[in-house]
Amino acid sequence: MSEKLHNIKILLSEFYVVFLLVMAWLFFGIFAPGFLSFRNIFGIITFSVILLAASLAQNVVVLTGGFDLTVGSIISLVTCVLSVLMVYSVIGSIIVAILLGVLIGFVNGFCAARLKIDPFLVTLSVMFLIDGIDLILRPAPGGWIDKTFANALLLNIGGLNVGSIIAFLALTIFCVVLLEKRHFGRLIYAVGGAEDRAILRGINTQKVKMLAYVLSCLLCTFGGLYMAAYVQIGDATIGSPILFASIAAVLLGGTSVSGGTGRALNTVAATLIISSITNFLFYIRVIEWWKYVFNGALLIVVASVYYWIERRREK
Amino acid sequence: MKIQTIYLTSIGAIVVLLIISALFAPQFLTVEHQSSLLKRLSVYGLLALGQTLVVLVGGVDLSIGANMLTLAIFGGDLFFHTGELLLPIIIVFVLGALIGFINGVGVGRFKVPPIVMTLGMMTLLTGFVLVYTGGSPVGGAPPALVDFVFAEVINVPVIVIVWIVLAMLLWFFSRRTTLGRKLYAVGSNPRASYILGIETWKIYSIAYTLAGVLAAIASLIYLGRVLTPALSVAPAGIGTEFLLPSLVIPVLGGCSFKGGEGSIIGALIATYLYGMLRSFLLVMGFGEAGVLIFTGVILLGVLIFQQIRGGRLLQFRKLFTRK
Amino acid sequence: MMAEYLSTENITKMFPGVKAVDNASLTFNSGMVYSIVGENGAGKSTFAKILSGIYKADMGKIFIKGKEVVDYNATEALDKYKIAVVHQDETLFPEMSVAENFFMEVMGRFYKKGFISYRELKKTAEKSLKDLNINVDVNKKVKYLRSDERKMLEFARAIYYQPNFLILDEVTAPLPEDKIEAVFTWIKELRNKTKVVLYISHKLREVLELSDEIVVFKDGKVAGKIHGSKVKMDDLIQMMVGEKSFKAIFPEKARTIGKTIFKVKNLKGRGIDMEFENREGEILALAGLAGSGMKEALRMIYGVVPKSGDFYLDNKKIKIRSVKDASAHGMVYISDEKEAEELFLNQSVKENIIIPSIDKAANKLGILKESAVDKFAKFIVSRFNIKTPSLDTLTQSLSGGNKQKVVVGRCLLKNIRVLLASNPTVGLDIASKTEIYNILRDLAKKGIAVTVYLSELPEIVNFPDRVLIMYNGKIVDELKGDEITEENILKAYFEKVSE
């Protein structure tokens, strides 16, 4: 019996963010009646799909010890590309978007892993590049997104976006399985945790890191498709808030910023926490600006947690 | 040795730009244009100096733009409501230093990763500014400040002199004082610095506090120039239009996010290069999009060039971890 | 059986500015144990990395069982050619479990219906470890293992792949004597199974005990090959270094010991409970089996690790609550992890030398006199024969021995009273070791209290004036003067502890 209890304790400590999520929901439920309704929770999950794609993408890259500042810009890019090209060909424009995603991922990965340039700076430069291209494609928000495409992705049944839930689950399952149960995923942890040792072991660390960046961009492209389905236009700046939120989600989810540790499920939970906060603040009619104070305070809390963890480690 | 290469490259790039300007946009080379360019650059230049100090010590200050803007808004409001000159200036300096100091303590004492700490600070500052102003612009600059900002000495703008003098002082500080050398040491290897008896948290605090003070000076100059600070809120927070150049310029000037590599002079030259490039692009008719693309390409180009030449491994893990 | 397994022909590898391996032509036959000896930078590790596929040779050929093999990577070396290696540097992933570390390169083999079967993984790892009598929990994260446990894990990994050619590079450093015996047994077993073992080590005693043939590397070239049984220690050293005798490596011990300089009483914390004193002119050594607390004790005294205790400098009580206090009292700690804890690799040699004593080159306001900085740096470089192209060269390009000379030599610029050093000559070649010994001996003669943690037996016997043997955080034996012999030390390690 104590073995089972012991295992539960370990699970709880590994996935403490899920625990945090539950606590947050209970807390919100008390202060905002109606928060815990099926409709609302469903809405939160639907709303989070895009952020989840970006956060999981960011998580993969951060696990390798890197950083991806292009996550938001890729989402914007996908909406812009689709909004311009869908008039010509729906399928074609989707293919172009995906190819662009792979290309950008490759560029990021090549510069960061092969040329060994600081990932923060590489993705910062590429982000500038993509933002510029977005503005050329779509100087102002607009364009046209095919409705059949949007409906197929969202799959609205009885007022609920079932398609989004499916996407949410698909993303979660895909990333969790990849990172925990596939060789590539374990290699990401190894390379991120101790790259020089991985090299000594004969692991092709550059290939692993490059693929991580490509994967990140592909996940963001997927998120971008959903963004296009949601807003039904192209917008060069729509992805910017998502970058910031993806970083927050990854940090809140306990992924170590130096690489090597952090569970995907925690990132998923952290994403939901962040979405829930926005939803909750909206629910209790808080003025938009307090969101900033809240987020700032949240980050300070995260900082304190860091301190506490650091102190415990030193003992 | 590596630093010299960066100087040469930056200076070479500047020369190339000057030549191209002479051919295609001769209005560029007039004293008026250069003077107004330098005046505009002084704000960015001061922020870049602050960021350089922080990057040298192995960190990053994502709040520097928000800091400057917050001080400009708050200071402007103080000027407007109190009618005083000296008091608001002192308050602005103290606040700027305080914000920087808090960053420094968070990073140095509490071992919060710099990105997390300064990002949190930026978000907090954004929140307070938005609540304080209610979203609409406030404040104004007193005539004395405006006069100062627009003053010139033998045709050289005073604020540019202030900027250059500060840069020189900081260069001297970073290269010729014990504190400056310790700055480089802590940036290079905080663990070894600690073992050798250096109080690393003090060094972090000094670097971040100085960045805060520089932001304060920049805020006053900014206020004098625009009279009423504009409030544009990006998703991450306010001041990002000032933050991003301050991140790009140190890199162009030879700094490494690894810590312990780079120089104030390099950042100074890079500020001018950056300003020239942007100005050049806008004059040539490239819109915001073009500027973004160019900045991205140039930055990436410089980074790749640095790697091929220097072959060094930029590890930005130091930004995120505290050992 | 004397069948040739692997041979090399004119293997050359160059790094910027230096020929790390120069035309190495060697033959390795099955059923033999070979050793490679030589100074640091002589090319041993580089040669091993070429054989194991981590580096590609610039010139030359490698033959396995008579057939030439070209351009293989480390995974192919393991899989196809059965060449396994246990490196000098650790290759385990601290945040991952023992089981995962075991199979990280080949986890794909454990797929069940497309997903990794962790049960299989753990079972296989457990079995392999049990077969070798290693007692580790396969679920534990590697970072929680002791350094000797980690080394044994690396062994088990290499042996799991049933190599025909096993390379061991300086593997006994973190191991206690009993584990070293176990390793030697395995090596001999492999030999009996007609495998090849390539043993790279500085520990000449072990080399002489194990080897059938000894290869000496000097400046990247093969300087000589001798049969293990036919050589004496002194001859070996001469081939490597030019010194005639082992004894010439160590400076003379102290003739007169003065009064007590530094006293430590009631040092408690983390399982440590000890006290000792260090006298003028005396070099005091702490020794013992790995994990007994020698390194811990030094770090505690210096203030890196919290502890309680009473400290006396020149018979006056002093407070050491933190590293700052220790440093202020003139204490210096030389860590055995110089790259992580002592050096600023991307700064110049001049900088690394001057930083600890930077206040000396400045006036009251903190403004530096560059000429003073240069003078001090030049002095240390010439005094200790630090080989560097210039004072402005980045420290990362110095060899290991010269790096350590910077770390130890720069202490001379400070007004130090107490020097604590943890394995100050670990991993260094003999010439560098000698220089470090001389530096430390000089400091002791100057009246500085020198306390060192040593782990290599010849060092413990020949260098210090007094040895304190520790076990489980406590001092169990003290040897001085003529009492310091290998026999007595080993006795103290193994017999005294059970008393």
Q: Tell me the ipTM for this assembly.
A: 0.83
Cross-chain CB nearest to C355 (options B176, B196, B256): B196
Query: What top-level class would CATH report for the domain C260-498?
Result: alpha beta
Cross-chain CB nearest to C104 (options A182, A186, A260): A186
Alpha carbons C286 and C298: distance in angstroms, whole number: 9
Q: How many helices (H) and strands (E) does chain C have?
A: 17, 22
- Mean pLDDT of the region C364-390: 88
CB C127 within 8 A of CB C182: no
Res A254 pLDDT > 60: yes
- Mean pLDDT of the region B46-58: 95
Alpha carbons A118 and B261: distance in angstroms, whole number: 14
Interval C405-425: pLDDT, tens:
899 888 888 888 999 999 898
CA triplet C432, C434, C440: central angle to 5 degrees?
Answer: 105
Q: Are strands C32-38 and C196-200 parallel, antiparallel or unpaired?
A: parallel
Beta bridge partners of C421: C334, C452
CA A232 remoteness from chain centre: 21
Taking contacts as CB-CB distances below 8 angstroms, the residues of chain B near A256 are: 320-321
Cross-chain CB nearest to A307 (options B110, B124, B289): B110
Alpha carbons C457 and C490: distance in angstroms, whole number: 9
Q: Residue A81's domain spans which residues?
A: 16-26+34-284
Nearest to B71 by CA among B92, B99, B51: B92
Q: Is residue A164 in some structural domain?
A: yes
What are the angstrom distances between the C-alpha of B111 and each of B59, B99, C32?
11, 17, 53
Specify the higher pLDDT residue, C448 or C306: C448
- Mean pLDDT of the region C124-143: 86
Q: What is the domain count for chain B?
A: 1
Rounded to 5 degrees, φ, ψ at B96 are -60, -45
Architecture of the domain whose range is C4-243: 3-Layer(aba) Sandwich (3.40)
Nearest to C171 by CA among C229, C90, C226: C90
pTM, rounded to two decimals: 0.81
CA triplet A237, A240, A242: central angle to 5 degrees?
Answer: 130
At C84, list the tokens: 């396994």
- Mean pLDDT of the region C438-461: 88
Taking contacts as CB-CB distances below 8 angstroms, the residues of chain C near B179 are: 366
Q: Which position has the token pair 């191209």?
A: B20
Q: Is residue A302 in some structural domain?
A: no
* Residue B158 CB neighbours (<10 A): 17
Q: What is the domain count for chain A?
A: 1
Report the pLDDT value the prediction gives residue C499, as an integer from 0 to 100.
Answer: 47
Q: Are strands C449-453 and C283-288 parallel, antiparallel or unpaired?
A: parallel
Answer yes or no: do A289 and B130 touch at CB < 8 A.
yes
Alpha carbons B135 and B163: distance in angstroms, whole number: 31
Q: Which 3 state secondary structure label does DSSP give C269?
A: strand
Answer yes or no: do C89 and A200 touch at CB < 8 A.
yes
Taking contacts as CB-CB distances below 8 angstroms, the residues of chain B near A67 are: 316
Report the pLDDT value the prediction gives residue C415, as an integer from 0 to 100.
Answer: 85
Interval B210-253: pLDDT, tens:
999 999 999 999 988 887 777 777 767 788 889 988 988 998 88
Q: Is residue A115 in some structural domain?
A: yes
Interval A191-223: pLDDT, tens:
998 888 898 888 899 999 999 999 999 999 999
Alpha carbons A245 and B172: distance in angstroms, whole number: 40
At C76, list the tokens: 């192919």
User: Rounded to the nearest 10 degrees, what angle do helices B31-56 and B200-226 cross at?
Assistant: 160
CB B303 within 8 A of CB A111: yes
At C474, list the tokens: 């406590």
Q: Residue B215's domain spans which residues?
A: 2-320
- Mean pLDDT of the region B25-36: 79
If contacts are CB pairs under 8 Å, which of residues 130-169 in chain B contact chain A? 130-131, 135
Of the pLDDT bands very low, low, confident and very high (cuts 50, 70, 90), residue C427 is low
Answer yes or no: do C304 and B258 touch at CB < 8 A.
no
- Mean pLDDT of the region A34-38: 81
Interval A255-282: pLDDT, tens:
877 788 888 999 999 999 888 887 877 7
Of the pLDDT bands very low, low, confident and very high (cuts 50, 70, 90), residue A310 is low
Interval C57-94: pLDDT, tens:
889 999 988 888 888 888 888 888 889 999 887 889 98
Q: Are strands C115-116 and C111-112 parallel, antiparallel or unpaired?
A: antiparallel
Alpha carbons B147 and C266: distance in angstroms, whole number: 69
Answer yes or no: do B178 and C341 touch at CB < 8 A.
no
Q: Which position has the token pair 């011990």?
A: C253
Taking contacts as CB-CB distances below 8 angstroms, the residues of chain A near C167 are: none
